[in-house]
Structure 1
Amino acid sequence: MTVFEELKRRGLIAQMTNEEKIKELLENEKVTFYIGFDATADSLHVGHFLQLIVMRHLQQAGHRPIALLGTGTTMIGDPTGRTDMRKMLTVEEINHNAECFKKQMSKFIDFSDGKALMLKNGDWLLNLNYIDFLRDVGRHFSVNKMLTAECVKSRLAVGLSFLEFNYMLMQSYDFLHLYNTTGCKMELGGDDQWSNILGGIDLVRRVKGEEVYGMTFTLLTTKEGKKMGKTQKGALWLDPEKCPPYEFFQYWRNVSDDDVINCLKLITFLPIEEIEAMESWEGSQLNKAKEILAYEVTKLVHGEEEATKALETSRNLFSANAQDENMPSTELSADAFQDGTIGLLDLLVATKLCPSKGEARRLTQQGGISIDDEKITDPTAKLDASNFEKGYVIIKKGKKVFHKAIKA
C-alpha cells in the first residue's frame, strides 16, 4: 500500500487540488511539502498533532517535510474559524512560542541530515517592503474573490480588520517563497485552510507559470462534527506541564464509542488492518479499543514510560481500590485552609476539578462528587484535619475522574 492509499484509507485526506497528479507525485517522486504553524501559544495542541501525524506518514514514505513556524504571519493573525480578532503578540512572545514548537516537533519529525526543514516565515515576511509587496504580490489577488473565501466571509458580519484581511496574501507568499528557495511543490493543512492554500497555489501559477498542489486533511471532530481536543481547562496541550500525561491519557480513554475507531485511524500508527478489524467491536470491546487509543497516542506524545504509567494508573483507579501513586494530584498550601478547614467548593476549585464555585455547587448537588468513596451532596460541607489524617483525600468527580488533594 502506498502512502497515498494509506492516507485515503485512514480517512485523513479531505480535499485535493488535483487528485490524480498528487497521487502520481507521492507514489513516484520525493516531494518537498510544507505545513504552517502559527506561534500563537507556547505549546502545540491536539489540532497540530494530527498535522504532525500526516507529516510523519509522508516522511516515512521518503518525502521531505517543511515545518514552517509562523513568526511573521502570527504578527497578523489568521481569521479562519474566529469570531473576533486574535490577541496581538509581541515579537518576543512569538519567538518564544516558536522555540517551544521546535522542541515538541522534534519528537515526531526527523530533522537530521536535511530529511526535514524547520523554517520561520518571519525571516522573509518581516523584511518586506510594503509598496513592493503590493505591486509584486497584491496585484495578483482579486478582492471580490477573497470576499468569497469562507475564512473572510464568515467574519464580515461581525467585522474583519484590514490587518487580518492581509493574512491570505502573506500565507500565499510563503508558498511562492518556499517554491523558489526549496522547490516545495505542495502545501498541506487542515480543511479549514483550503481558501488560504488555494491562494498560494494561484500565486505560484501567476508569478512562475508552474503548477503546485494543495491537500487538506480531515479535522479531528466528533461524529456530531464538534472539534475534539477541548477540555474543561481549555485546549488539550502536548506540553506535559500544561496537560499532565495521565490527564492526556484519560481524555482519549473517555472518547465516545462512536469516535474511537475514527481516532485510531487518524492519530495512531497502528496498522490499518488491525483498526478495521475493530470496527465490528461492541460493548466492553470498545472500552479495550479506547484503552489502546489512549495508550498509543500518549506513547507518541509523552513516550512509552509515561504511557505505561498512565495505563496502569487508569486500570488501578477503575478497580476496587482507587489508589495509585501516579494519580493526578494537587498540593494544598496552608493558605487554602481557614481555621484548619477547607470548604468543599474551595477544594474543587483549588484542584481545578471545577472552574468556578458555581459549577462546583451544581456538580455537588447533582451527586457528582465523592471524597474518599463517600458521596457528598452538601455544597456547604467542609473538610478538616480528620479528613486529612493520612495526609491527603481522594476526590472522585463523576464516574471516571480521580484526583488526590495533598495537605502540605
Structure 2
Amino acid sequence: MNAVLDELTWRGFIAHSTDPDALASHLDAGPISFYVGFDPTAPSLHMGNLVQLMLARRFQAGGHRPILLVGGSTGLIGDPRQSSERVMNPKDLVHEWVERIRAQVSQFVDFDGPSAATVVNNYDWTAELSTLDFLRDVGKHFSVNRMLDREVVKARLETGISYTEFSYVLLQSLDFRELYKRHGCTLQTGGSDQWGNITAGVELIRRSEGARVHALATPLMTKADGTKFGKTESGAVWLDPAMTSPYAFHQFFLNAEDAKVAEYLRIFTTRSQEEIDDLARQTVETPHLRAAQRALADDITDLVHSPAERQAATDAAAALFGRAELASLPEATVAAVCEELGAHRLDVGTELPTVVDLLAASGVVASKSAARRAIEEGGAYLNNEKVTNPDARVLGDQLLHGRYVVTRRGKRTVGAIELAR
C-alpha cells in the first residue's frame, strides 16, 4: 500500500474508501490535488472539523496538494440533519463566517512549495449559475430513487424534508466536479457522515466527465460510551479562542478518557507509533499520572493556539491548586479559568463581602456555617491564601484583576466569584 495510506491506516483515519488499491496506485503515480469542505454554519470550526484538517496535513506532508473549500453557497442551505430542518442564516452573516473560517483553515496548511494549499469558496461558481443550467447539467445525472435511499433522507421522510435540503447533495457533488475541472482534484475527503454526499460527487464526475476519481472518509470520533466527541456540557469545543478559551480547550483534552486517549493521540498529534504505544502502556500501568492525556493536551493546544497559550493554561491549572501564583496570570486566562469553574457573579456595593460570604456563594461549601467550619479547620483559601478569620472582609487588593476571586476548600474543591460593582 502507499506510504501515506499506510500512515493513515494505523492512525485510524480511514473508515471508508471507494477503492483502496486504486487510490494507493493513484497516489503512487505522483502528487495529486485533494479537497475537503467546511460549511460556515457557525462562526468557528470545532473539534470534529479538526479531524479533517489533520488528515489534510497528513496528505500534504506526503507531497499532495490540499484544497480547502469553505462553503459560501452550501452554508446558505445546510446539509440535512437526522433530527430536523436547519434554520437558514442570513446571507451577510454566512459571508462573514466564510471569512472567519477561511482564516481558521489557513492556519493548518502550508501555502508555499510544490504542495502549496489553496482555499476556495463554492459561492464563486454557484452564485451566477442559473436554475435551468443547474437542472440540465447536474440534476439530470441524479436518480431520485437513489437520493431517497440515503439514510438521512429516510430518517426525515416521516417528519418532512424540504426540497432545499433534499437537493444539498447535488451542490456538494457539483463542488467536486468544479474542483476536478479547475484544479485537477481527484480525491475528496470528509467524515463518514458525509459518505453519501462524497460518493455522489464521484458518480457525477464519472457520468458527466467520464473520469475516475476517489473518495475517503474518516470515522466519527466518539467517547468511550459512544456519544459524540468534542462536546462538553456547555456545547461544542470550538477552535476560536473567543468561543472556547485555550484553558478550557487544554482542560478538555486533559480529561480525555483512558480508553480513548491513544486513539486521540494517533489522530491529533504527530507522535510516532512507538511514542503512542509507550504512552498507552503508561495509561495502563500508572493511570493516575495521566501522561498520555498531558501529551495530548499539550500537543493539540500548541497546534490550535500556541505554545505560549498552552503554557498559560498549564500555569493556570497549577495555580488553581496552590502550585503557582494566581496573581501572575493574565486577565484573559483568569477570566477563562473562572468561566470554566462556573463563576458566580456577585453584585456588591461599596462594602466588599466577607470571606464566609464568598466561600458559600462560590459553592465550595454548602452554607455559611460550613464555611466557618472550613476556616476553623484550616482548609479554606481565597486566591490560594489560607483564610484564618471568618469575620474578615475581602480587600480590594486581594481581587484578581480587580474583580475575580478563586475559592478553595481543602486540596481539590475549587470555585470562583466575579464581583460586580
In the superposition, the TM-score normalised over structure 1's length comes to: 0.84
Would you say the 8 A contact 2:346–2:418 is kept in 1? no
2:334 corresponds in structure 1 to 328
* 3-state SS of paired residue (1:160): coil
C-alpha distance 394-335 of structure 1, shift in aligned 2 (>3 A):
closer
Shift of 1:278: 2.4
CA contact (8 A) 2:346 2:419 kept: no
User: 1:405: how far off?
Assistant: 3.3
Determine the C-alpha separation between the residues in 2 that align with 1:402 and 1:163.
47
Q: Quote the offset at 1:102 in angstroms.
A: 1.7
Counterpart residue number, 1:86: 86
CA distance in 2 between counterparts of 1:256 and 1:243 reads 20
| Contact 2:361/2:417, CA 8 A, preserved across alignment | no
RMSD between aligned residues: 3.3
Secondary structure of 2:290's counterpart equals: helix
Contact 2:266 2:276 in 1 (8 A): yes
- The change in CA–CA distance for 1:36 and 1:346 in structure 2 (over 3 A counts) is farther
Once the two structures are TM-superposed, the CA of residue 200 in structure 1 deviates from its matched residue by 0.4
**Counterpart contact for 2:348–2:419, Cα < 8 Å:** no
- SS of 2:110's equivalent? coil
Q: Any residues of structure 2 matched to 1:1-12 within 5 Å, and which?
A: 2-12=3-13
Moved more, 96-105 or 204-213: 96-105
Q: Name the amino acid aligned to 1:303.
A: S
Cα–Cα, structure 1 residues 95 and 139, in superposed 2: closer, same or farther, change >3 Å? same
The alignment partner of 1:257 has SS state of coil
64-73 or 87-96, larger mean C-alpha shift: 87-96
Code of the aligned partner of 1:146: M
Partner residue in 1 for 2:320: 317
| Matches for 1:2-401 after TM superposition, within 5 Å | 2-80=3-81, 82-112=82-112, 115-281=116-282, 282=284, 283-284=286-287, 287-318=290-321, 323=326, 325-326=328-329, 328-329=334-335, 336-337=347-348, 374=380, 386-387=393-394, 390-391=398-399, 392-395=404-407
Deviation, structure 1 residue 337 = 3.3
Q: Quick one: distance in 1 between partners of 2:230 and 2:260?
A: 13
Q: Alpha-carbon deviation of 1:110?
A: 1.1
Question: Can you list the C-alpha shifts for 1:239-279, whole angstroms capped at 9, x where unaligned?
Answer: 11111111110000011111111111111111122102222
Structure 2, unmatched stretches of 5+, are: 382-389
The change in CA–CA distance for 1:221 and 1:384 in structure 2 (over 3 A counts) is farther
Contact 2:40-2:97 at 8 Å conserved across structures: yes
Alpha-carbon spacing, 1:318–1:284, altered in 2? closer, same or farther (3 Å): farther
* Residue identity in the other structure for 1:290: Q
256-265 or 152-161: bigger deviation: 152-161
Instruction: Tell me the SS of whatever aligns to 1:13.
Output: coil
Larger Rg: 2
Q: Does the CA-based 8 Å contact 2:316-2:334 persist in structure 1?
A: no
**Matched letter for residue 308 of structure 2:** E
Residue aligned with 1:78, SS: coil
Question: What is the rounded CA distance, in whole Å, between the counterparts of 2:17 and 2:365 in structure 1?
Answer: 50
Distance in 1 (CA, whole Å) between partners of 2:196 and 2:391 is: 58
1:338, CA displacement in angstroms? 6.6
The 1:216/1:346 distance shift into structure 2, 3 A limit, reads farther
Report the AA paired with residue 34 of structure 1.
Answer: Y
Shift of 1:234: 1.6
Q: Cα offset for 1:142?
A: 1.0
Distance 1:233 1:110 in 2: 33
- The code of the aligned residue for 1:296 comes to D
Q: Is the 1:246–1:328 contact (alpha carbons within 8 Å) kept by the matching residues of 2?
A: no
SS at match of 2:216: strand
Alpha-carbon spacing, 1:393–1:345, altered in 2? closer, same or farther (3 Å): closer
> Cα 1:240–1:334, aligned 2, differ >3 Å: closer, same or farther?
closer
Q: Which segment is superposed worse, 336-345 or 235-244?
A: 336-345
Answer yes or no: is the 8 Å Cα contact 1:317–1:324 preserved in 2.
no
Deviates more, 1:252-261 or 1:216-225: 216-225
Q: Is the 8 A contact 1:66 1:117 kept in 2?
A: yes
Post-superposition offset of 1:313: 2.6
2:14–2:219 contact (8 Å) kept in structure 1: yes
Q: Structure 1 residues 364 and 166 mapped into 2: Cα distance closer, same or farther (>3 Å)?
A: farther
C-alpha deviations, 1:197-232, integer Å up to 9, x for none? Answer: 011011000001111110001222112221111123
| Counterpart amino acid of residue 189 in structure 2 | L
CA distance in 2, matches of 1:256, 1:22: 34
Displacement of 1:344 in angstroms is 7.7
Aligned residue-pair number: 385
| Cα deviation 1:106-158 (Å, max 9, x = unaligned) | 22111236711100001111211112211221111111111111222222232
Label 1:200 to 1:346 Cα distance change in 2 as closer, same or farther (>3 A).
farther
Task: Provide the rounded CA distance (Å) in 2 between the counterparts of 1:233 and 1:407.
Answer: 23
- Distance change (3 Å), C-alpha of 1:220 and 1:365: farther
Contact persistence 1:4–1:27 (CA under 8 A): no
Q: 1:22: how far off? A: 1.1
| % identical equivalent positions | 36
CA contact (8 A) 2:48 2:230 kept: yes
Deviation at 1:393, TM superposition (A): 2.1
